[in-house]
Structure 1
């Protein structure tokens, strides 16, 4: 309490007494005066946020100079001011326009953060307690020799917020990107080669350096040549981490460099060639000495565009698939009709005597059409410009009824094997349309019963031969380089039933071509809206008969006992899953689900057994087979999670580094198609547990070896089954991180036990299988969204 001044108080009392004695007051109250005007309302107290889930920063003004000051405000998701924050980061960069062929480049002027750390200092941060703040840079930003500030130049301020608690919640990091000019005018140019939209097509989000930096615009502003070494320059860093390692083709620059969001400079890769950017891919070129460079040595970028024009660069990089688009247009192998019939009509099928009252035959009609959609009036099996023309067909509805269905191989490069490569049977040829009859298809199923009223699917796989100019079709028998001068035809997926082709798809949409193609590469055709996603099937299915280096990795294969210890040797000579450099020279998908014709629950896993990645006697043999199953819904999950038995070994080339969060189901799935209810009552996955019991090996030096019990994948016979929901969930959740000394990750026993407690069955016989999984009771859609962070 403030002390009372005794002298002042005494004087006041004496004056009051004196005035009373002299007033002449009669002691009556006076009349009330006239009421005054109403007063102005008082200002209410400022309301500031006591919690926040997110922060939004707004820069109000920037004063550049020796002591550059930034004034900014912060509000929460309810637009309430947030006071009391003390963790911020500040980056300031300037954009220098390139001269003599150099690319425009950001130069870092300052990088500071509060509180200070061993990596950066903190200037002066002032909290005005009302949601507004000011920050004065510790460093003189005008002293940077790599950049001179001028009124008309573009600058970029990055303000990092988050990483601290507001109320009881820790707010996530976020980066505000504020581009400006010193004179206050809007920048006429800010270099944006790639944007977040480009990156998140594969990644869920960007979060580097402990999650503090979340925007690609931040990365380019800091990874500048006046701040970091050559290896850490953003262009070099991004190329080194992606080229040859991501799922899209090498050389397909437009996988990342496309006009998404605000990527105004997306075409820089072909418009502004520089030594630094080109060398990240063309590592064999020494620009200083001129080695492997037709133009000889180059000291700078001044002459690059003289030879390397935009059109030339685009052609050299993208012609491997853009050129293929033009080539592919020459031939359309068009399915005009498909239907299931109860009994065969082709004499060869009648004579085969395979028809029963529980089988059916598919009649498939195909027309060869030119780029204008006109029939070529050619019988398909007599056209000599096809290197292969194959149709993958299955019947049975959602789960399909047969292991690999039936494959009509009109022309093929496959090794002859009865039941796998059969002579095509022509039922009819009329008006340019060839009708084939394929079968028999089983119309009864152990688990699904009568399949007569179901539906089927058919998809082609095509390669045809052309001249070197890609203008004329050419006989494959006369073409010296089939692969160099050919083209992969467009692939279509069709559904059909007993009446014919279905105009509407009978299956729910699980994935789309666009979602898969966002990472794997995609070709879009404006003429019909079709989008084809690249599928490099040969990454998994190499042609081992002509490729001795990869003998033992495809349909006819198996490990051998080289050291004579009585055990099959571990086979790790696997073909790399890394992408090739040619987009669309490989099989292309137009629905992302054609694989189901072969990759279904009926098809037991064989490759990981043949190559001894798992074998009878292993404690986790059944579980390893489950996670290595070719069934589409297991195969895709397990491959991306790196959980197949042939993945996870140190240095193995089949390891997959998935670029997004595995828990983000909607990254691949359409809508709520990941709901566990869709797996209830589905067909169990087939296993062949004794597949290798009688295998005695092949000669790895002889690709034509047919001695001994040659094990084909199509030899597999189901003798055990696994519950479908458990198999799908195990494909992601079934393994833990590698432990010291382990060559591959081990199955999590506690996960398997949990599944078994809720009805899952692993490796049981047909008679033992009950199909009584209760997973969806607890793991309903709401639960799945919650535990996967999708709410």
Structure 2
């Protein structure tokens, strides 16, 4: 895959001139807080020089079909590595791929294959090799001559690609293993590389899968995945394809596939993906297919400009293109006419165009939208009935008549140090001076014993019917984004609730939070209800935000990223325990300790074992928890350090 920032390299090999695209940037990978080596003794780090990067800097296809790649192996500082681990610490293992893109196709055909026999019979699959010949050139630089030769019939005018993936083993130094992969495109006959497979970039995948690390961890990039996951590689157990455009769609949408819902599990290579749920709206194709301006992929628009039976049928797998069933009775024997009906963008939302059919309802241009603001809060003090002034407008800035709202509620709760109670009131009967401005005086009161700062929030929606009278008529819940307001009870500066995570960090995966019918769509709004006192069910299970989010991501769903990397969700190192934060004990009928001290509760919502609870109890006295002594940001066993790999 090509990047605007990567330079084309022209070099001469005898009488053959090759023009290549250097796709594996020759730059070291810095250590991350998720690496064990990040916390190692500096003297040991200086000696081992951990980290691993593989780069392919050049490739040559000889007349007899011998394929050779120039490979550079480096550590995190860019210093060369010895493969055998004799000159530099840690052995390095690398495997290689090779393939080309046929003139009449857009995906790879691998030059290296294997056969596998399973319930579906004997199949041929794309694969890699590691039995070629290595020749040292310089410090960390080698040539690798492939054991598998390219056939004499190969078309040398086509795009050819060499891929590499591997690891550096530093287990003996207690620094774990480091992984890297790379690809390199070239045209053996000479000339520029003009045809590539560049639909989605790795950075887009790593919005959730941070980092990609498949097949044991060594396949780190979409570029390498593309070389094997084509129609060339069916599953021997089921006969199902592992072609990227089918396989990836089906995995991410598995729980909602029509086939799965009717009782056929989605199983490939012995893995049942039937419970995988996509965290974003199903129609939000742009979550992965990010625009070229964002991710840089040269074929970023393929999803909307090049529809095919395989790609579309991967999610819509109740469509029978051969008979026309669930396809308005229209059989489709080839992909030639797909774009005739399914153009990129039509005239109206929700039509048969690709973007229209995948329109997220609340983003439709057919609804006016609702925009909230909380402008002020008066009489905010213990024992009072606060009055909140708020504004309702549409996306164009025009005032919204409160009578058109289907639901509108305002919350107040506190203290912001850790909300333990709240009041929620329906405000559809609020009145005001006009221009979308309204006032509401709470019937509920702030308790006489309340202290500190309190928070106010607004939620609501109006029900809108679009395309009325047509076959595409639909009802949309046009909800507004939650807004928050903070006020001090004693007239001092208001203190907002601490920031643990943000809607932006959640929306790396979720695209747009929209719980409870879209009413709760900003993370801070969740803190009103999901507080330390919220329990549900006969067992009084805690639905405190900390417990709920940790438990869901660690146990109840397949978390796509590195579950040990707290910084994927937490901001400002908020995962580190600190003394005297004003946090409250958490009620939880399922906990080993009830109510649970706040820090122990947070950590043990993932580490929910008797040993872990015993440990936290042993380090809690009448004065409070002492977690930060050992697990604070600069402590010997800091949260990040013990989670590192």
Does the alignment reach a TM-score above 0.5?
yes
Q: Secondary structure of 2:361's partner?
A: helix
Is 1:669 the counterpart of 2:573 in the alignment?
Answer: no
Number of the residue aligned with 2:479: 488
Is 1:139 the counterpart of 2:148 in the alignment?
Answer: yes
Q: Secondary structure of 1:781's partner?
A: coil
Number of the residue aligned with 1:304: 338
Q: Is the 8 A contact 2:97 2:129 kept in 1?
A: no
Number of the residue aligned with 1:362: 386
Distance change in 2, residues 1:223/1:509 (3 Å): same
How far apart, CA to CA, are the structure 2 residues paired with 1:465 and 1:270? 29
Aligned match for 2:223, one of 217, 220, 242: 217
Is 1:95 the counterpart of 2:101 in the alignment?
Answer: yes
Q: Secondary structure of 2:439's partner?
A: strand
Aligned match for 2:505, one of 505, 515, 526: 515
Q: Is the 8 A contact 1:96 1:104 kept in 2?
A: yes
How far apart, CA to CA, are the structure 2 residues paired with 1:210 and 1:686? 39
Aligned match for 2:440, one of 432, 436, 443: 436
Q: Is the 8 A contact 1:338 1:501 kept in 2?
A: no
How far apart, CA to CA, are the structure 1 residues paired with 2:48 and 2:642? 28
How far apart, CA to CA, are the structure 1 residues paired with 2:232 and 2:419? 60
How far apart, CA to CA, are the structure 1 residues paired with 2:48 and 2:561? 33
Q: Secondary structure of 2:595's partner?
A: strand
Q: Is the 8 A contact 1:125 1:133 kept in 2?
A: no
Distance change in 2, residues 1:122/1:196 (3 Å): closer
How far apart, CA to CA, are the structure 2 residues paired with 1:87 and 1:720? 50
Aligned match for 1:723, one of 597, 600, 607: 597
Is 1:68 the counterpart of 2:77 in the alignment?
Answer: no
Query: How many Å apart are 1:728 and its aligned residue?
Result: 0.8
Number of the residue aligned with 1:524: none
Q: Secondary structure of 1:310's partner?
A: coil
Aligned match for 2:613, one of 734, 741, 752: 752
Q: Is the 8 A contact 1:95 1:154 kept in 2?
A: yes
Query: After superposition, what is the alpha-carbon deviation per residue over 1:390-434, rounded to whole angstroms, capped at 9, x for unaligned?
Result: 1222132221242xx1111135xxxxxxxxxxxx6x5x6334533
Query: How many Å apart are 1:51 and its aligned residue?
Result: 6.0
Query: How many Å apart are 1:222 and its aligned residue?
Result: 0.9
How far apart, CA to CA, are the structure 2 residues paired with 1:310 and 1:158? 33
Distance change in 2, residues 1:84/1:657 (3 Å): closer
Counterparts of 1:223-238 in structure 2, within 5 Å, are 223-228=229-234, 230-238=240-248
Query: After superposition, what is the alpha-carbon deviation per residue over 1:646-689, rounded to whole angstroms, capped at 9, x for unaligned?
Result: xxxxxxxxx31111222211000112121200665422124589
Distance change in 2, residues 1:187/1:129 (3 Å): closer
Q: Secondary structure of 1:729's partner?
A: helix
Number of the residue aligned with 1:579: none
How far apart, CA to CA, are the structure 2 residues paired with 1:501 and 1:292? 63
Query: How many Å apart are 1:73 and its aligned residue?
Result: 3.3
How far apart, CA to CA, are the structure 1 residues paired with 2:372 and 2:588? 36
Is 1:788 the counterpart of 2:630 in the alignment?
Answer: no
Q: Secondary structure of 1:327's partner?
A: coil
Aligned match for 1:589, one of 503, 507, 521: 521
How far apart, CA to CA, are the structure 1 residues paired with 2:410 and 2:619? 41
Q: Is the 8 A contact 1:55 1:171 kept in 2?
A: no
Number of the residue aligned with 2:11: none
Q: Is the 8 A contact 2:466 2:474 kept in 1?
A: no
How far apart, CA to CA, are the structure 2 residues paired with 1:370 and 1:94? 52
Q: Is the 8 A contact 1:361 1:437 kept in 2?
A: yes
Q: Secondary structure of 1:674's partner?
A: coil
Give runs of ≥4 in structure 1 deviating > 6 Å. Answer: 499-502
Query: How many Å apart are 1:315 and its aligned residue?
Result: 0.7
Query: How many Å apart are 1:775 and its aligned residue?
Result: 1.3
How far apart, CA to CA, are the structure 2 residues paired with 1:360 and 1:510? 30
Number of the residue aligned with 1:580: none
Q: Secondary structure of 1:142's partner?
A: coil
Number of the residue aligned with 1:256: 288
Number of the residue aligned with 2:350: none
Counterparts of 1:230-309 in structure 2, within 5 Å, are 230-243=240-253, 244=256, 245-259=277-291, 260-294=294-328, 296-309=330-343
Q: Is the 8 A contact 2:565 2:643 kept in 1?
A: yes
Number of the residue aligned with 2:111: 109
Aligned match for 1:390, one of 381, 405, 409: 409
Query: How many Å apart are 1:283 and its aligned residue?
Result: 1.1
Aligned match for 1:126, one of 110, 117, 134: 134
Query: How many Å apart are 1:89 and its aligned residue?
Result: 0.9
Number of the residue aligned with 1:476: none
Distance change in 2, residues 1:729/1:482 (3 Å): farther
Query: How many Å apart are 1:183 and its aligned residue?
Result: 3.9
CA RMSD of aligned residues (A): 3.3
Query: How many Å apart are 1:731 and its aligned residue?
Result: 0.5
How far apart, CA to CA, are the structure 1 residues paired with 2:598 and 2:415? 17
How far apart, CA to CA, are the structure 2 residues paired with 1:190 and 1:277? 18
How far apart, CA to CA, are the structure 1 residues paired with 2:49 and 2:587? 53
Structure holding more strand per residue: 2
Q: Secondary structure of 2:208's partner?
A: coil
Greater mean deviation of Cα atoms: 203-212 or 672-681: 672-681
Counterparts of 1:506-545 in structure 2, within 5 Å, are 506-521=496-511, 533-537=512-516
How far apart, CA to CA, are the structure 2 residues paired with 1:68 and 1:439? 79
How far apart, CA to CA, are the structure 1 residues paired with 2:48 and 2:412? 62
Distance change in 2, residues 1:223/1:492 (3 Å): same
Q: Is the 8 A contact 2:362 2:477 kept in 1?
A: no
Gaps of 5+ in 1: 1-48, 113-117, 343-357, 412-423, 472-480, 522-532, 539-585, 615-624, 643-654, 690-718, 735-747, 761-769
Aligned match for 2:536, one of 606, 615, 620: 606
How far apart, CA to CA, are the structure 2 residues paired with 1:501 and 1:300? 70
Query: How many Å apart are 1:296 and its aligned residue?
Result: 1.4
Q: Is the 8 A contact 1:491 1:589 kept in 2?
A: yes
How far apart, CA to CA, are the structure 1 residues paired with 2:520 and 2:487? 21
Question: Highest relative contact order (Cα 8 Å, sep 6+), 1 or 2?
Answer: 2
Gaps of 5+ in 2: 1-46, 85-91, 115-125, 257-276, 346-352
The alignment covers a number of residue pairs equal to 535
Query: How many Å apart are 1:326 and its aligned residue?
Result: 5.2
Greater mean deviation of Cα atoms: 310-319 or 331-340: 331-340
Distance change in 2, residues 1:316/1:213 (3 Å): same
Distance change in 2, residues 1:335/1:67 (3 Å): same
Is 1:155 the counterpart of 2:87 in the alignment?
Answer: no
Q: Secondary structure of 1:240's partner?
A: helix
Q: Is the 8 A contact 1:494 1:501 kept in 2?
A: no
Q: Is the 8 A contact 1:361 1:441 kept in 2?
A: yes
Number of the residue aligned with 2:548: 635
